Amino acid sequence: MSRIDEAFADGPAFVPYLAVGDPDYESSKAYVEALARGGADVIELGLPFSEPVAEGPTIQGAVTRALEAGMTPETYFEFVGELDVDVPLVCMTYYNLIYQFGSDAGPRPFVERAAEVGIEGIVVPDLPAEEASPLRDACDDLGLDLVFIVAPTTEGERLERIMEQVSGYVYVQARLGVTGARDDVSDKTDDALARLTEWNVPKAVGFGIKTGEHAERIVTGGADGIIVGSALVDIVAEGHREARPAEDVAADLEAKARELTEGAESGYAQRVPEPEHT
């Protein structure tokens, strides 16, 4: 069992996302550490790519700020190595950065470097199961989990193919479209979870979760975890826009993390208990 699996083993997991280096190296580090204090069970750390096709305007903004502040893959790995947090870290990035890293063509040098700095999982929004074998092999060899996204449109054979390859957790995309905080919970969430019941992999729901109430509702519906990005990046963006001190922004992030963690836990408490095995 990987440390990521373990993070889901004991109650619902809160999985926050931030783009590393947004708006600058030092503040970003304080923000990630604040999320850990606020109750994060796993943290997704975005490595900014210039063409974030799966992201909505909020995370596009984060990526632009981080790149303008000089974030590169190597700086990212140094950042991760310096982090003072005790939760498993997942790298989220696009395939070209993984493919180009190091002198050899192919994903292995990237995965080696990621393992070296303590990253335990990878998720790649533009890498469907069909193209994933080289990365899957490198992750297997180095003991990293490879998380896949399951979309509302993923069904039948496709779903099976993905679920055979996934490890750590499956990222359940709650709605079609791009990332971004929303004011409601998608009806598609429950359908998506229902399609996945037969697989014994933790199911983390993302895309559009903004409040503790959303978290509660989604965990009540059967999710093993919630993934929240844009609602947190919004706090970073606002702090940057208003030139607030990093410690104030970090305190807000920690409070938001706590709200989401508590929401998830409250949802878990309301679930019908599974029958005890005798």
Partner 1 sequence: MSTSKFGEYGGQYVPEALMPAIEELEDAYERYVLDNEDGFMDEFRRRLRDFGGRPTPLQHAEQLSERYDSEVYLKREDLVHGGAHKLNNALGQVLLAKYMGKERIVAETGAGQHGTATAMAAAHLGMPCEVYMGERDINRQRPNVFRMRLNGTEVNPVTIGRGTLKEAINETMRDWATNVEDTHYVIGSVVGPHPFPRMVRDFQSVISEEAREQIREQTGRLPDSVLACAGGGSNTMGAFHEFTQDAEVDLYAVEAGGSSLEVNEEEGVAPNSASLSTGDEGVLHGARTKLLQDTDGQIMESHSVSSGLDYAGVGPELAHLVDEDRVTPVTVDDDAALEAFHRLSQDEGIIPALETAHAFGFAHENPEKLGDVTIINVSGRGDKDLESVIEETGKRDIAAAPDMDVFTGGGL
Q: Which residues bind partner 1 (CB under 8 A)?
A: 49-54, 56-57, 60, 64, 67, 72-74, 94-97, 99-101, 105, 125-131, 148-155, 158, 162, 173, 176-178
Distance, CA of 117 to CA of 81 (rounded, Å): 5
Cβ atoms of residues 19 and 50 within 8 Å: no
Least distance from C-beta 127 to partner 1, angstroms? 6
Distance, CA of 119 to CA of 269 (rounded, Å): 31
Provide the residue type at 79 as one letter. F
Cβ atoms of residues 254 and 34 within 8 Å: yes
Closest to 27 measured CA to CA, from 239, 199, 224: 239
Catalytic residues: 44, 55
Q: Give the β-pairing of 225-228 and 145-150.
A: unpaired
Distances (CA, A) of 137 to 5, 44, 164, 189, 248: 19, 21, 14, 31, 42
Residue 3 or 161 with smaller CB distance to partner 1: 161
Residue 91 or 150 with smaller CB distance to partner 1: 150
Buried b (16+ CB within 10 A) or exposed e, 103-112: eeebbbbbbe
Which SS3 state, helix, strand or coil, does residue 146 take?
strand
